[in-house]
Structure 1
């Protein structure tokens, strides 16, 4: 039954059809919805594209008509004559049909003539209009931002083109205005609909409405919040289609596209409810089709599997025909996927030769496209210097069309005063095997000069020089950046004088360029040090070990900040300072060489002696008891933790003494807190004088003291405890005719091999101290009892218990 491939395929497929039916139906509905979404999006995008192309075409025709009229204008003596201008405007019947009004303006922005004539408009000054500064900076036609007309307060926009005399100078501007609501220019878009409820809108990239379903929104600012995020994205440069909220805050399929001839964007939206209306009917159809398809598959699978293997025999026959030469071209990629893979592999062999040939043909087109899109102007030159190619960037930079450049010597386009220098660079390029770079000036088509950096590189093939490649880069912006850099330098000088920190500006060679008055006060650096190397003069020392800190590594770093150094100064000796070093780099605003010339650094030195004294004082207060001067609980616990860590790592023993004063409450109650404080100070002084320099005494609070004895065993700790206990017992405080004495209960504990926590050591010391205190109390009770009986007490002290 399963001996044939057909049976092995047919039976499992038929068994799985029912199980897969639900999955296939769901997948089909998903893809239908996705296709419907893409179809709606592409439809809206296509409608917006068509509307944008139509508006672009209308703008292009109007701009072209206006430019053609500007070229036809002639006046006596190549000057702007009002009478001639008025007569010229009346003759422009074609323009009058394309524009609502025509104006002729002087280069200064004054209206010389208008048509149709409006009283009061002639003589108006338009130089303060938003579009006029941009118009003066351009030699091409200019489409203005929309505005409201001075006469009638109607929304409109203007197209302006320069009028030249016979010498190419601008003598006037010809302007045509188009009203947004009364001209057929935008009528089709304004009244057109997308589907039943979809509409178009047009806005400027600067954020003003031109076309909107509501006429009240025309010329109003675009609200990024209320007009929807899709319009906000379009204003930021996005184009295409997507689902999102439109300007009416409806979920819709939205598309936007920018215009080529004006700074406008055209958009359209179709509500999602309307776009997906056919989905319900499609869902029913897909469900029915899936049921029918399942039944057909169950019936036809056996037959189809048999037929699907038939192309395997046909493939073999086609390969045999190609091998024999009776067949040319590809074999048919039919049948099952495995058969198609074999067919494609064979076809790949046939196509490899065709791809190589196609690649060779495309190479030339590729490199030409690459040159045309280069950010630098490119000229290809023959051995004699004749131009054979000019890319688009060259045309943009110079204004010379490529046909007028090809076949002419490239030196003909160099300014006369720069010709000799350019000829020298050309001669060096012909003699050298490496690229040559120099700066020169080219004459633009409008007779202005282009300050450019030229790089001449030989073109070689197999050791043979075919010509030269000249790249032309506009360096005008870099020179402007250099000028701005000098202005910033002047501002920095003013700030430098006002700073209270010692500041020195260091040049790229590590020499002092400038210093401020504070540098003279702190470092002794006055104007006489300018020009000297900074590294030998800056004498820095490491606070930790007193070693000299070299300034050379500091200058090699991009940024250094340190307050761990001291500086040798002539006026104050060695003082602690905070040193900051910032390396300056103008970056890409200047060229590579210019940036290297201005690279250096800023050294800031601040006297931090007072700040360090304050920090030390605060740090000491945080770790010591204010009454006795001993370490406080925080400092003691930190030192105890370090000692215990050394014991765990290295086995170094340590001992701990816990001291609790006896009868101290009587001192406080009888003599007052002043007497208690004095007693605590005397006890602290005795403890401090009884210890080694490596030991740490601390007051934990009230009348509790603790002593850490690093490197001390139990025997030595007991001797020290006895000495301190006896010393405390010998203290006698006299105050107001009264004598006060205290005793001490001392608990001794040392580190043991089994200790795993610091608390183990402290708990043993506390327990020993508590036991000593209890035994001392018992001794006092025994003495009192003997006294009451008249017996002589034994030699038992508080500490002997």
Structure 2
């Protein structure tokens, strides 16, 4: 619950103008800072790479110059020794080498060979080295061919097992002919040739490497020489170029795939290559750290600026808040117009525009109130019930005439109006009203309304849609009381189909019901039976007692017949003393029982005139609907024929029209 409240409060703050301005300023600040940092990173990387490549070039120059000097010193020392050994016999070479002890500071050992490559002497003496054949070695062939100082490829010493190189100078006799070589062995791991490089500092990941002409590693501060395992740093494009004699700086991938800044320099006397490398990650790390620090500094500055900008924005938006409060006061009726004092031209223009619109609104409101008063007077004085509904169908106004007609008061809701519609008419009225709302067509319907006084009114409702500029505004309706008219129409319909003397159906009404029953029989096969009967001995009543006595007898007979038949049956006086009974949904057997009951009941009806009692009997013809009956005349003729047959048989009897099943009727007469 608290979390949702906090989120809602934060949403309100961010959705306000002040919150949006501050959020926009913060976003703009972050975007600008981000762009500046990105540009600084991009340009800084290039600048850092350039500066460090310059640094690597200087470092590689210093290292290459230092190694060149050390190699030259050793080669020069061997050259001086070669001069001393000229003319010395092979037997005395060992003595001279022993006396050259000072050279042992630079070399692990010294050897002298003859022109045939056989080792004549060595110092210190190593068993088996004197007399060793070297004519087929790479360095002897190279030196004999070039006849200038040469440094061999690294190899593993047989005695020490260390990685060694031979620095060699050629020997010449008095005639200048090649007389062999003088060579000094340099230990790559323990000698002083590369020890000073171990003290060189190029950062935690900086690398200084010395490689031979074949690419074999001679020196690396974090890795021993690779002669023993045959490791060679070839196959890299930049290194291949350097082994071919190129010098310079480049950016390339190292053997481990890491991007490196590299500088290559040649050590010409030894035909070696110096490689100085720095990982790009190490070079750029200070720049990245600086930019991260700068980012946090700018972020802290942004937070401080947000507080100051919040205060400034609140000051700037204060006139807007005053405008908001005054507009709320105008809406509440506490003031009529805005009175805003501010130097912000935009807000002043808004206030002026609002005052102008408010003035126009008040004028329009007064005009509408006048029109409303006029319309209320017109609607209130009209005797016709009228109502107004919106486009959703809600009745929001009923004039006094309508309220009086329906027995409602002005406070009643729309639901009470609908609830008082007769249940049999309510659903149809609602469907037609929704159709009019949806299509805009006129609504016209006659319906029954339950008046609060306990009576049921028949009303006629007619509503039309009101439009202005082709835009629907609502509905205006008129309600008329048609109760008396409906009652008159109902009475007229009743009189048109009923006998005024007996209240039974007349020939016209009975004919319609007979047609309906025959149509139902043709459609569904529902059985119905028709009974026609005449009154026996009715003429003496009229002749002796007069028409008044005859009419009284007819009324009594009609009453008895109506009592004896079912509520669903139809009884009619066809004219004179002829009567008819229609028995819907009735079998012939049931009809026979009903006919017998009628005959017996009517025979007990009497009238008295001058102490004389008159009674009558019935001659009844009965027929059921049969297949092939396509008109009511056919059924009437069949029943009429049966009635005449009953008279012919002596009256006071029931005759079933053929064909029929005699087992269905058990007649005692």
Question: TM-score surpassing 0.5?
Answer: no
Normalising to structure 1: TM-score of the pair? 0.33
Larger Rg: 2
